[in-house]
Structures are given as structure tokens and as C-alpha cells.
Amino acid sequence: KYSTYAASTSQADLKASRYHSEYGVFSMGSVSTWAGMVHGGLDVCAYWLSLSGDHWEGQGGYGKAKSVADAIHAAGLKQNEYFIMCATGSDDIAYPNVTPQIDEMKKMSEFVYTSDLSKGNFYYLVAQGKTHWWGYVRHYVYDILPSFFHEGN
């Protein structure tokens, strides 16, 4: 049996259980990961997983990164209150779109880049030679998911 850890579906209870929530999707669905962060999801979800997809709001890498940073500020979160892990393949069609956004996020103080989420809140895994194929998702999730759900508890 699965649990959301929320006492009810009220906004207050969902917010109280946010460290037990993760949202992550692959490819075009990954666009919804970024949109979820930017459009109110940060208050009910602490862990975000973007697989082979970039943010579609904002122009260029900087504009996309700034849109996410602005949402974090609007939510009033500290660096240790949200965690973003991203992955794609080096030969994935998404790579040239995702990477400029990630590179700009690395420059911003809102994102502390490290694979150890006890020391930061943001990481980008690039699988060498992998393409845009759903079969690689299980490898990304296998590598990333053990990092989730330890912080903020």
C-alpha cells in the first residue's frame, strides 16, 4: 500500500508532506516537470526529476533557468528545501536544449550543484552515448532515485 504521507488532501497537509513527494517525467512529459516547479508545485513537492526535457518558458538557457529561479523565490524556499535532478544522454535529441539551461542554472545561487543532495540541491547526469529512448529511463531512475527522500525529514 502506498501513502502520500499527507493527513488529508488539504493544501496545508499536502505542503506538510512535501518532503515525501517527487515529480519526474521523461521527454515531452519532462516539460511538465519544469512547468510544475514554475506554476505552484514547489510548495507541495520537494523532489523534481527531469529526464530528457528542458523548460519551455523563458528564452534561451538563461531565460529558462531564471524562470525556475524566480519560482523558487516566489515560493520563499531556502536552498535545502528543494532538490532537482536531471538526466539525458549525450546523443539524445534533448541534450542540446537541456544543457544550456543546466549550464545557466549552475551559475545561479539558487542551485547548488552536486550529486550528493546532503550538500546541495541540483545535479545533471549525462549518460555517454545514450539516445532519446524510453528504455534508458530505468537506468536514470536507478541511478538518481536513491538520492531522494533523505533531506528535510
Looking up residue 67, the CATH number of its domain turns out to be 3.40.50.1820
Dump pLDDT digits (tens) for 15-63: 998 988 899 999 999 999 999 999 999 999 999 999 999 999 989 999 9
Q: How many domains is the chain built from? A: 1
Dihedral sign from CA coordinates of 23, 40, 6, 120: positive
The per-residue DSSP string of 40-88 comes to TGGGT--EEEEES----SSSHHHHHHHHHHHHHHHHT--GGG-EEEEEE
pLDDT reported for residue 151: 62
Q: Say yes or no to pLDDT of 153 above 70.
A: no
- Report d(CA 73, CA 93) in Å as an integer: 31
Evaluate whether residue 153 is within a structural domain. Answer: no
Which among 84, 88, 77, 80 is positioned nearest to 152, based on CA atoms? 80
Q: Say yes or no to pLDDT of 148 above 90.
A: no
Q: Residues with Cβ < 8 Å from 145, sequence gap 6 or more?
A: 49
In this prediction, residues 66-82 reach a mean pLDDT of: 97
Task: Give the helix, strand, coil percentages of the chain, each rounded to 5.
Answer: 45, 15, 40
Evaluate whether residue 152 is within a structural domain. Answer: no
Evaluate whether residue 84 is within a structural domain. Answer: yes
For residue 87, list its beta bridge partners.
Answer: 51, 125
Range of the domain at 95: 11-147
The answer to whether 47 touches 22, Cβ cutoff 8 Å, is yes
Dump pLDDT digits (tens) for 79-136: 999 999 999 999 999 999 999 999 999 999 999 999 988 899 999 999 999 999 999 9
Evaluate whether residue 127 is within a structural domain. Answer: yes
Evaluate whether residue 119 is within a structural domain. Answer: yes
Evaluate whether residue 6 is within a structural domain. Answer: no
Evaluate whether residue 100 is within a structural domain. Answer: yes
Evaluate whether residue 1 is within a structural domain. Answer: no
pLDDT reported for residue 1: 57
